[in-house]
Amino acid sequence: MSSHTLDELLAAGVSGRHVLVRSDLNVPLDGSTVTDDGRVRASLPVLTKLAEAGAKVIVMAHLGRPKGTVDPKYSIAPAAARLGELADFDVTVASDVVGPSAREAAASLADGAVLVLENVRYDARETSKVDAEREQFARELAELTGENGAYVNDAFGAVHRKHASVYDIAALLPSYQGDLVATEVNVLKTLTEAPKRPYVVVLGGSKVSDKLAVIDNLLGKADHLLIGGGMAFTFLKAQGYAIGGSLLEEDQIDTCTEYLSRAKELGCDIIVPSDVVVAEKFGADAAHEVLAADKIEEASFGSSGLGLDIGPKTAELFASYITSANTVFWNGPMGVFEIPAFAEGTRTVARALADSEAFSVVGGGDSAAAVRSLGFADDDFGHISTGGGASLEYLEGKTLPGVAALER
Ligand code: ADP
Ligand code: MG
């Protein structure tokens, strides 16, 4: 099955029609300042195409997790303001989602202009587990389009959610797949169906449990699985090492052990750090030392140190695997990159990836933010995915509700 494309919608004609677009404007904020506008930029092409074709565009998007209540901290306004700065079209913002402000603004929207609705997650029905509640909310959203409306899903970062603006609404309006979703899905297809070998997967970040399912699925597919970040310590523990006060998910140790032995049978190398940067405490001014992975508790400041980055030997080894790979998928920073003393592992891996000719995909919100904050450009990499959770779920082999809904 396939879905209708944005080009099909444009060919059908959108001038004067209301088009409801689910975009991903879920950007990190510092107060009301957008600290990484990658997702706003990624949303721009589809909105521009529609505006230039004369559509009355209504954007639905979420920001953070306001949990179904109006909370100014999660207002979409800063993201919409950034969109307005980058765009060639007019952007206005409604002060509610499907209330009087949204309805009036939608009804009076000019051809070629863009209206951004307030955070769709201000309404508890958006994420409700009760089908009828989501469906009713989807109907109210669809009604904003009046006669002859259409729906475009371009929010790759949200396609793994069975939410009203992502899933239910596709049953109510003629529905189309946005270019960003199409690109992301194609990239992931390349990774799952026919990766050029050697295929190296680099996993890091903070939680093993978030990423275990993807390891399960990748064991039979990747040639080398490089494990860094906080999740590496549960693997080190599974190998019998003492890890001081490093991140540990006790209940995942057995699963890690099982993966290590299954990897051997399947001919996939799991490579865990052989050295780590151990800090006395969590903080920018913490004393820290490089230690072998089996000597974490032998730091000069005592036995309760925290492993906050992969060590230089490990980083070089990871870089050499990346250099000889033809396909690389990377999700999750190698260390606490937000603190310069623990950013080197992530930097070394990012540099190797930027220098390589391999087809490379960087997935994950923090991973994307990490490579940008370390000074790399988006085009240093084959593809920076806008959706961490969505790309992981795809690689786990799960169906993405927002993608499937367009195929009905
Ligand atoms: P992504 O969003 O790219 O999927 P995650 O959310 O899984 O990545 O993890 C990112 C976080 O992991 C970062 O904030 C980083 O500081 C943290 N992290 C990485 N390595 C460690 C470590 N060794 N100990 C604690 N936290 C870590
Ligand atoms: Mg994250």
Which atom of ligand 1 is nearest to 336's Cα?
A: 16
Asked whether 229 lines ligand 1 (CB < 6 A), one says yes
Report pLDDT digits (tens) over 79-93. 999 999 999 999 999
Nearest CA, atom 4, ligand 1: 364
pLDDT computed for residue 208 by the predictor: 79
- Catalytic residue flag (residue 121): no
- Which of the four pLDDT bands, split at 50, 70 and 90, describes residue 387? confident
Alpha-carbon distance of 407 to 176, in angstroms, equals 9
Percent with pLDDT over 90 in the chain: 89
Alpha-carbon distance of 272 to 40, in angstroms, equals 35
Q: Are 271 and 317 in contact (CB under 8 A)?
A: yes
Q: Which helix (H) or strand (E) holds 10?
A: helix 6-12
Higher pLDDT, 373 or 109: 109
Compute the distance from residue 283 Cα to the ligand 1 centre, in Å. 14
Report pLDDT digits (tens) over 141-168. 999 999 999 999 999 999 999 999 999 9
CA 230 to chain centre: 18
Alpha-carbon distance of 320 to 224, in angstroms, equals 12
What is the pLDDT of the chain when averaged over all its residues?
Answer: 95
Strand partners, 153: 22, 177
- Which of the four pLDDT bands, split at 50, 70 and 90, describes residue 213? confident
Strand partners, 364: none
Compute the distance from residue 39 Cα to the ligand 1 centre, in Å. 20
Alpha-carbon distance of 209 to 174, in angstroms, equals 38
Which atom of ligand 1 is nearest to 389's Cα?
A: 4
- Catalytic residue flag (residue 230): no
Question: Which residue in this structure is represented by tokens 């026919």?
Answer: 194
**Overall average pLDDT of the 30-55 stretch:** 95
Alpha-carbon distance of 254 to 238, in angstroms, equals 7
CA 132 to chain centre: 28
pLDDT computed for residue 121 by the predictor: 98
**Does residue 75 have a pLDDT over 90?**
yes
**Overall average pLDDT of the 382-406 stretch:** 92
Selecting among 139, 207, 313, 398, the annotated active-site residue is: 207
Alpha-carbon distance of 390 to 148, in angstroms, equals 31
Query: Ligand 1 pocket test: which of 243, 296, 366, 396 has the largest number of ligand atoms within 8 Å of its C-beta?
Result: 366
Alpha-carbon distance of 283 to 306, in angstroms, equals 11
Asked whether 336 lines ligand 1 (CB < 6 A), one says yes
Q: Are 398 and 160 in contact (CB under 8 A)?
A: yes
Asked whether 26 lines ligand 1 (CB < 6 A), one says no
**Does residue 316 have a pLDDT over 70?**
yes
Asked whether 157 lines ligand 1 (CB < 6 A), one says no
Selecting among 39, 134, 161, 162, the annotated active-site residue is: 39
Alpha-carbon distance of 248 to 100, in angstroms, equals 49
- Which of the four pLDDT bands, split at 50, 70 and 90, describes residue 1? low
Structure tokens at 134: 């989501």
pLDDT computed for residue 149 by the predictor: 97
**Stated pTM of the model:** 0.88
3-state DSSP assignment of residue 100: helix
Asked whether 205 lines ligand 1 (CB < 6 A), one says yes
Structure tokens at 312: 């230089």
Q: Are strands 175-177 and 150-153 parallel, antiparallel or unpaired?
A: parallel
- Catalytic residue flag (residue 365): yes
Structure tokens at 212: 């275990």
Compute the distance from residue 387 Cα to the ligand 2 centre, in Å. 10
Asked whether 331 lines ligand 1 (CB < 6 A), one says yes
Nearest CA, atom 9, ligand 1: 205
- Catalytic residue flag (residue 39): yes
Compute the distance from residue 52 Cα to the ligand 1 centre, in Å. 40
Helix ranges (H only) for 290-404 are: 312-323, 344-355, 365-373, 388-395, 401-404
Put the strands of the sheet holding 275-279 in their side by side order. Answer: 288-292, 275-279, 306-310
Which atom of ligand 1 is nearest to 392's Cα?
A: 4
Report pLDDT digits (tens) over 249-307. 999 999 999 999 999 999 899 999 999 999 999 999 999 999 999 999 999 999 999 99
Q: Are 23 and 60 in contact (CB under 8 A)?
A: yes
